[in-house]
Structure 1
Amino acid sequence: MTDTTTPQAQWSVTVTPVIAAITTLCASSALAGVIEGMRWLGYAGIAVMVVTATGLGLRALRTPTLVVGLAQMAALMCLVVALFTNSGILGVFPGPSAIEELGEVLRRSVEAVQLGVPPVPATAPMLCLVVIAIGLVAVLVDTLAVSAGAPAACGLVLLCVYAVPASLADDLLPWWSFILGATSFAFLLAVDGAHRHQQWRNRPALPGTAAGFGSPSAMVSVALVMGLLAGALITGIGTVGSLPGGSGGKGGGGGLALKPFTALRGMLDQGTNIELYRVRNLGNEARYLRAMTLPRYDRNGGWTAVDALPDDYPADADLPPAPGDDGGGTITRIEIEPINSPKDLWAPVYGTPRRLRDIPKGMFYDQSGGMVYSRTPRQLGKYTEDADMSQPAREDLRLAGNDFSEIDQIYLTADGIDPEVVALAKQITAGKPTMFDKALALQQYFDRANGFEYKTQTDATSDENALKDFLFRSKVGYCEQYASAMAILARAVNIPSRVAIGYTAGFQSGDYRSITTQDAHAWVEVFFPAQGWVTFDPTPLTDGRTFVPPYTTGDPSAGPETSVTEEEVPTGAPSTSAAPREDPVNEQDPDAIDSFAGQEDTSWPWQIWAGLIGLVLTAAAVVAARVRRSLVRFAVPVVAVLATLTLFFLVAAVSWWLAALVLVLVAAAVPALVRAWWRHGRRHAVVTASPAAASAAWDELMAESWDRGATISDSDTVRTAARRLAREHSLDEPGKTALRTVVNSVERSWYGGQAERDPELAKAFDEVIVGLRRTAPLAWKARLLPRSVMRPRR
């Protein structure tokens, strides 16, 4: 295979891939909105470097484009095996055991995506997903920008990198991520444009590009500023509705797009039990703490929130009575203290709230849904609720009637319920005279005596098929399945219902009740005219955490059961019970607390700092060499050493053995790098017409011939050596013509005493180099271990 590219055209296979890699890494910064800390960035950087290095190496060997792409994916696979498995062949190559182990890691990564609430901790499964995703993006961007020569098309790929975290995060993506991504992509386009103009014009630079409004850099800068202003003022970028500084639409609901059951399952499936709230003055009332209610049933997605909530009632004022509420009842003042609760849209409340104190400004009360919410996530401080905690009597519920004019008809909507489910609901409630008796029969249907079992490790789906499987076959689920199923059965027999999400009462610890992630729960609320929304919990918990209202026991004098006393330790699996402790916080994993609380760990390991220092020193050495050309000879080895150390420490932040591998690879590349530096220096002397231009051109031609295995004698004259070069490397006619021009220039310089610039030398020199590459391409061994470096000719 021959190479017809000019030295200037090598730009497209050297500089462009590096810029494309930087652009990919800058775009990956969008993941900062959904993954905690900055550890993942090191893994993403390693994936991008492996893909880019593989492409650079193979293109230098003139490998076909398809093979380059496949090799990049193979290299990425080896990296994933090396980082996330312990059974790879030689620790790197995938084998059956490594593939099986990697499959388990990917399974856990999928669970983390389905169940985690952004920002999620940077666990091994998430890091594995980052390496694979960003690595594949790097392959696509590298292929489009370099092989296809269409860097503009990379914008579609990079847009997907932003779209995924933007759709998952409740908050806006970091503003600096947009700046980095837009700037790097614009730079990629500018570099490619400059290269194309250079090829068209055959000039070292674009005319008029040094300054001025019409220069590419100026145009790119203006486009970037205009795009960011448009994003902030006009479009809706991100999940809240605009870029930082913009206003999020009033009816958007912010994080309402996040599936509430995802957060619920994420809390229940955590490996550690994290304290969220401390509640005082609740007394013996083991009541549920309600965060939000879900009124709408979708047969394809389960229970969801409404699209927009009203802002008629500020939460820090007197709150209006809810539907069915007469506004009376005894008031209990309850103090709720968030401990490690994350930023959220909701302020959980007990019973029927009458007034909230010390609640942040900008929070509202939804009279219909019984929720206190904000349009943007916020961290709550300690607040106080005046709540009506009274419970209706069984007979009052039986006499409530069926006048539902006070509530929105969305609570009665039963569209799309499967006929089999409707038939089951009618069968369960057959012969029940009142709506209360029907609701009680539906709750009692989910008893263990009917084969139902509580378990958190179940299918995460909540569509119609999952509902039927739960009701008629498996009968195994956790609170989501139980609450969803009962609410749907109630709708099927014209009982207004909704699903509530919040927490059980936790356990008593000193003067407060401790509510943890293991207390996350879902239950059903049924509307009774003149009585309001009444709690029914069909989930068959056995650890004492279930609230059993007196109207469901048949004993009017029976008070509500307490969840867990200080002396009792519930039995059962750790994932389904919250065992009391004297100080639950002290026994928790601090890292887990921080991760759940949304307190991003921004501390970097010392290797990162060392790498950043090395990067600064490298940049300083480059700037010094640019300012004073006389320092170039000394700056090059300094820059090489500093760059190697920088790369070593940055990679070491991920893996020490991988850093050692980097040193080995750099050491192996030293001969080729030295040869490239000599080649660059000699060509620079030729192009700039320095006094030593002729000597530099001849030395480089002899070195190229020596690298190709030619025999050169010191006794040969210039013309004899030139004839030998043309013969041994089968130089074609254009190459021979250019070689004669070089020989004439060398002879005039050496023997003719002519020191003036030869305008034909640079063009002829480039043509000879291209001719050698065309007729005698270097083998891969000669590229990696050039003879002129390993065994320099004396």
Structure 2
Amino acid sequence: MMTSADVRGVAPAMAVPVACFLTVLFALSSWGSFTSTPFSYLGPILVAGLLVIGTGISARLLRVHGSVVVLLQLLLGTIATSLLLVRHPFPVTAAGRARVEAAMAEAYSAFNPFDLPMSAPEVAAYLVPGGVAAVLLADILAVSLRRPPMMGLVVLGVFTVPFSIIGAGGWGGVSWVVFLLTATAFLVMLRIDRAQQLGRWGRRLDEDLPVVPSAGPAVIGVSAVAIALLTPAWMPSPNVSLPGLGPGDGSGQLRVINPTVGLYGDLRRQSDEVMVTATPLYDEPTTSPSYLRILTLTKFTGTEWTPGDRDVPADQTGVATFEPPMSDETLLGEPTTYQMKASATFQSAWLPVFTHPLEITARGPWRYDEDTLDFMSTEGRDQTVAGQRWRMTAAPVEPSQERLLAAGEAGIAAPPGMTDLPLLPDEIEQIALERTAGQERPFAKAVALQNWFRHSGEFTYSLERDVGADSTALLEFLTTNKVGYCQQYATAMAVLARELGIPARVAVGFLNGDRDEDGGWQFRGRDLHAWPELWFEDIGWVRFEPTPAAADTREPRYTAGALGNARNEPEAPVPSAGTGAAPVPNRPQQEAPDTPEVADTGTEESNAGAIWAGLGILALVGVVALAAPAVIRRRRRTVRLTGDAEAGWNELGDTAIDLGLPWSGTRSPREEAAGLAPQLQHREPMLALQRIVAAVERNRYAEHRDTAAVGDDVRLVSAALREQADRRARRRARLWPASVFRRPSTSAVDGPAARSERELISS
């Protein structure tokens, strides 16, 4: 709880909370990696944060108990946050809780750390409450508990969020500008707090001597910030800095977060923009290029597919020659060399390659995983494939159906871990066994799974529903809704194959591209796709296509008719260069809506509601800010008029300041009284002023302190001063008292402290 000595004006009371708020706000700007419109979360945090710190400042000036201040801040901050997010003031009620849960569930299902930045609604439900909570916690530590250094833990926690979720690879880190602004605001807050703490001790005994400011703390703070900014420039950096990696020498295993590249959002956008172009350099290929793979997902955690652990030697480069990926070279078609080019907007930390590369020449920070042949940037999103060129020689895979059917036991010579699964519902394994009943060979089981998804008629392709990738969503997809897009089909078939003991993984990349006028293939945003790859003995990884044909996908030629009950879907012919006929794009087809599209006014109404709620909160903050000085002034007057002579003298001084009369606060009582005397026209106020001066002098300089009250005399003098002032000055003194914003001089509150100093000197 604050004491009366702490209340020395609005400006001093605002200094530390405002500096603390700015520090947290600067730190919260590091969350800009999550959304392309940072104000979408910083705006609501700014509004709710102003309400939180405004409530704290007003309540502390009114000397409300500290615990009540925190409760008020928590209550109003929660109401403001709930209004801004779900347009309901009370999230603990049934209706409010339902809205909050719906918003959180929607944000959770839409969030993807590798589809960033995302739109505002997809992340606001998490960023805004987290930011307001950070503001409240920082204010409690720095102001309510008076532990400003501990507020640094809040800043550290804020900075940790993008590191822990996205990773430190450039795009998930903290920029030096944000760090510098945050550190500067933090140091300013510490300086203000220290000055206020020292100021409570009263006037310096040597205040007549020149003041030499202590530069030590400032030098230490500035030096620490400079060291933090400059040290990374000369410290050795790790050889590999992929998203999600910790420090290391680049020679061990690499942990990479799931980069599913926002497949759902990208497919819904149906972008026609060319992302990658593959142009043959020497001879025309005999067949169209195979699927262009970006990366493979090899580990299923039960909630998502991830690339798992990757062994990338430190001495690798982007220039490499590979042995044929199949154990039998006769399974490969004629190799073709392509000049690859990525568009400037294709922000991928993974280098697209064809499924079976034989030679790669990619200049820059690229390394590859020897098991999967995935190429990855060693600098994360600081160095992506955007705008780059690379050369690649690849050969199509042409295993015969007979060879695949003759493949031996599943899993022989396969990379380790390709059949690992977490604990899943028993129904998933039962589905895998039922759908492959009667099939003995691994390839036949795989084709049976593919046919179930593509040709049974039970499943429907749609981009209107994103059902997720965890085990619960997977079971629902396989048994209930059976509606999804390529990611659901690829991951579902891979899980079912692993349940049968067949090594499986999920590949993410592009469908077969469109032929351009120059004879190259163009892979567009609409061609993004996911498919499963299964391992067979003496053959290697083989692509399957479980996504229904409604998505304009074609099953591989070696699977068509393998069980005698699948439709034969021949591969599309390769168009010749320069042909005028436009090829059919390999794009997912969205179902046409059954009803005419109508304007969605719900979003507009929601946005309008949020805007009005924000304006209402701002208006409330404004009213509180405008009314606070007058309330504080009246409370001070009431307390002082019942106090001793010193309290009465302070009240008289504030009255003079409010009316714009001469009052410095540094002169002796008689000098201050002489400045007020011309404003008093009658004898009684003059005598009352003399009695006040005498009482103050006895209180300050007599051997024994005079505790006589002078409240009545102060009222009489103050009334006479207001009577002589003009109407404008009286109105200003009543509505916007200037004394509230002025820090009184320590000489006005010497009292016993001054006597203690003199006694100390005389002793």
Q: Output the CA distance in 1 between the equivalents of 2:161 and 2:237.
A: 15
* 1:630-641 mapped onto 2 (5 Å cutoff): none
The aligned residue for residue 582 of structure 2 is 566
1:532 and 2:537 correspond: no
1:471 and 2:478 correspond: yes
CA deviation after TM superposition for structure 1 residue 18, in Å:
1.4
The aligned residue for residue 731 of structure 1 is none
1:317 and 2:327 correspond: no
CA deviation after TM superposition for structure 1 residue 576, in Å:
11
CA deviation after TM superposition for structure 1 residue 681, in Å:
9.5
- Describe the shift of the 1:18–1:283 C-alpha distance in structure 2 as closer, same or farther (beyond 3 A): farther
The aligned residue for residue 411 of structure 1 is 418
- Describe the shift of the 1:303–1:481 C-alpha distance in structure 2 as closer, same or farther (beyond 3 A): farther
8 Å CA contact 2:311–2:369 kept in 1: the answer is no
Post-superposition Cα deviations, 1:192-238, rounded to whole Å, max 9, x if no partner, equal: 3343343357649999995567x32233334445555777788999x
Q: Give the SS at the match of 2:32.
A: helix
Q: Give the SS at the match of 1:330.
A: coil
Q: Give the SS at the match of 1:409.
A: coil
- Of 149, 152, 156, the match for 1:152: 149
8 Å CA contact 1:443–1:538 kept in 2: the answer is yes
1:345 and 2:376 correspond: no
1:133 and 2:112 correspond: no
CA deviation after TM superposition for structure 1 residue 313, in Å:
4.7
- Of 362, 366, 375, the match for 1:363: 366
The aligned residue for residue 593 of structure 1 is none
Q: Give the SS at the match of 2:445.
A: helix
CA deviation after TM superposition for structure 1 residue 544, in Å:
1.2
Q: Output the CA distance in 2 between the equivalents of 1:680 and 1:234.
A: 62
8 Å CA contact 2:44–2:128 kept in 1: the answer is yes
The aligned residue for residue 585 of structure 1 is none
- Describe the shift of the 1:384–1:575 C-alpha distance in structure 2 as closer, same or farther (beyond 3 A): farther
- Describe the shift of the 1:265–1:243 C-alpha distance in structure 2 as closer, same or farther (beyond 3 A): closer
The aligned residue for residue 13 of structure 2 is 13
Which amino acid is the alignment partner of residue 153 of structure 1?
Answer: M
The aligned residue for residue 178 of structure 2 is 177
CA deviation after TM superposition for structure 1 residue 432, in Å:
2.3
1:488 and 2:495 correspond: yes
Which amino acid is the alignment partner of residue 338 of structure 1?
Answer: A
Q: Give the SS at the match of 1:401.
A: coil
CA deviation after TM superposition for structure 1 residue 347, in Å:
0.7
Which amino acid is the alignment partner of residue 160 of structure 1?
Answer: G
Q: Which deviates the most, 458-467 or 565-574?
A: 565-574
- Describe the shift of the 1:34–1:253 C-alpha distance in structure 2 as closer, same or farther (beyond 3 A): farther
Q: Output the CA distance in 2 between the equivalents of 1:7 and 1:768.
A: 22
Which amino acid is the alignment partner of residue 297 of structure 2?
Answer: L
Q: Output the CA distance in 1 between the equivalents of 2:417 and 2:624.
A: 65
Post-superposition Cα deviations, 1:694-730, rounded to whole Å, max 9, x if no partner, equal: 259969xx9xxxxxxxxx985434442476x8xxxxx
CA deviation after TM superposition for structure 1 residue 290, in Å:
0.7
Q: Output the CA distance in 2 between the equivalents of 1:566 and 1:22.
A: 57
8 Å CA contact 1:242–1:248 kept in 2: the answer is no
* 1:15-94 mapped onto 2 (5 Å cutoff): 15-36=15-36, 39-40=39-40, 41=42, 43-73=44-74, 75-76=76-77
- Describe the shift of the 1:163–1:715 C-alpha distance in structure 2 as closer, same or farther (beyond 3 A): same
8 Å CA contact 1:321–1:367 kept in 2: the answer is no
Post-superposition Cα deviations, 1:338-391, rounded to whole Å, max 9, x if no partner, equal: 22544322111113112234x232212323103122222323213332210132
CA deviation after TM superposition for structure 1 residue 393, in Å:
1.1
- Describe the shift of the 1:83–1:489 C-alpha distance in structure 2 as closer, same or farther (beyond 3 A): closer
The aligned residue for residue 276 of structure 1 is 275
- Describe the shift of the 1:117–1:485 C-alpha distance in structure 2 as closer, same or farther (beyond 3 A): same
The aligned residue for residue 394 of structure 1 is 401
Post-superposition Cα deviations, 1:167-201, rounded to whole Å, max 9, x if no partner, equal: 23342321222233233334333433343343357
- Of 337, 354, 361, the match for 2:358: 354
- Describe the shift of the 1:665–1:572 C-alpha distance in structure 2 as closer, same or farther (beyond 3 A): same
Aligned pairs, how many?
658
The aligned residue for residue 120 of structure 1 is 118
Q: Output the CA distance in 2 between the equivalents of 1:550 and 1:288.
A: 15
Which amino acid is the alignment partner of residue 159 of structure 2?
Answer: Y
Q: Which deviates the most, 170-179 or 460-469?
A: 460-469
- Of 141, 161, 169, the match for 1:164: 161
8 Å CA contact 2:658–2:737 kept in 1: the answer is no
Q: Output the CA distance in 2 between the equivalents of 1:57 and 1:301.
A: 48
The aligned residue for residue 428 of structure 1 is 435
CA deviation after TM superposition for structure 1 residue 315, in Å:
2.7
Which amino acid is the alignment partner of residue 366 of structure 1?
Answer: D
8 Å CA contact 1:354–1:385 kept in 2: the answer is yes
CA deviation after TM superposition for structure 1 residue 330, in Å:
0.9
Gaps of 5+ in 2: 576-580, 594-610, 634-653, 719-729, 739-763
Q: Output the CA distance in 1 between the equivalents of 2:675 and 2:22.
A: 34
CA RMSD of the aligned region, Å? 5.4
The aligned residue for residue 602 of structure 2 is none
Q: Give the SS at the match of 1:56.
A: helix
The aligned residue for residue 603 of structure 1 is none
Q: Output the CA distance in 1 between the equivalents of 2:497 and 2:471.
A: 16
- Describe the shift of the 1:571–1:314 C-alpha distance in structure 2 as closer, same or farther (beyond 3 A): closer
- Percent of aligned pairs with the same amino acid: 24
Which amino acid is the alignment partner of residue 377 of structure 2?
Answer: S
The aligned residue for residue 263 of structure 1 is 262
The aligned residue for residue 515 of structure 1 is 523
The aligned residue for residue 694 of structure 1 is 672
- Describe the shift of the 1:276–1:70 C-alpha distance in structure 2 as closer, same or farther (beyond 3 A): farther
- Of 290, 293, 296, the match for 1:290: 293
The aligned residue for residue 250 of structure 1 is 250
Q: Output the CA distance in 2 between the equivalents of 1:20 and 1:292.
A: 44
Which amino acid is the alignment partner of residue 505 of structure 1?
Answer: N
Post-superposition Cα deviations, 1:531-589, rounded to whole Å, max 9, x if no partner, equal: 32110121224031345334434599974247998375899864899xxxxxxxxxxxx
Q: Give the SS at the match of 2:321.
A: coil
What's the TM-score once normalised by structure 1's chain length?
A: 0.68
- Describe the shift of the 1:551–1:145 C-alpha distance in structure 2 as closer, same or farther (beyond 3 A): same
Q: Output the CA distance in 2 between the equivalents of 1:342 and 1:168.
A: 22
1:544 and 2:552 correspond: yes
Q: Output the CA distance in 2 between the equivalents of 1:676 and 1:498.
A: 80
- Describe the shift of the 1:110–1:412 C-alpha distance in structure 2 as closer, same or farther (beyond 3 A): closer
Which amino acid is the alignment partner of residue 147 of structure 1?
Answer: S
8 Å CA contact 2:550–2:589 kept in 1: the answer is no
The aligned residue for residue 589 of structure 1 is none
8 Å CA contact 2:295–2:507 kept in 1: the answer is yes
- Describe the shift of the 1:569–1:225 C-alpha distance in structure 2 as closer, same or farther (beyond 3 A): closer
Q: Output the CA distance in 1 between the equivalents of 2:295 and 2:261.
A: 14
8 Å CA contact 2:271–2:524 kept in 1: the answer is no
Q: Give the SS at the match of 2:398.
A: coil
Q: Output the CA distance in 2 between the equivalents of 1:147 and 1:275.
A: 56
Q: Output the CA distance in 2 between the equivalents of 1:532 and 1:414.
A: 20
Which amino acid is the alignment partner of residue 351 of structure 1?
Answer: T
8 Å CA contact 2:461–2:551 kept in 1: the answer is no
Q: Output the CA distance in 1 between the equivalents of 2:574 and 2:148.
A: 61
Which amino acid is the alignment partner of residue 550 of structure 2?
Answer: T
Post-superposition Cα deviations, 1:379-416, rounded to whole Å, max 9, x if no partner, equal: 32133322101321111222333486644222244564
- Of 720, 739, 748, the match for 2:688: 720
Q: Output the CA distance in 2 between the equivalents of 1:233 and 1:335.
A: 37
Which amino acid is the alignment partner of residue 22 of structure 1?
Answer: L
Q: Output the CA distance in 2 between the equivalents of 1:94 and 1:204.
A: 56
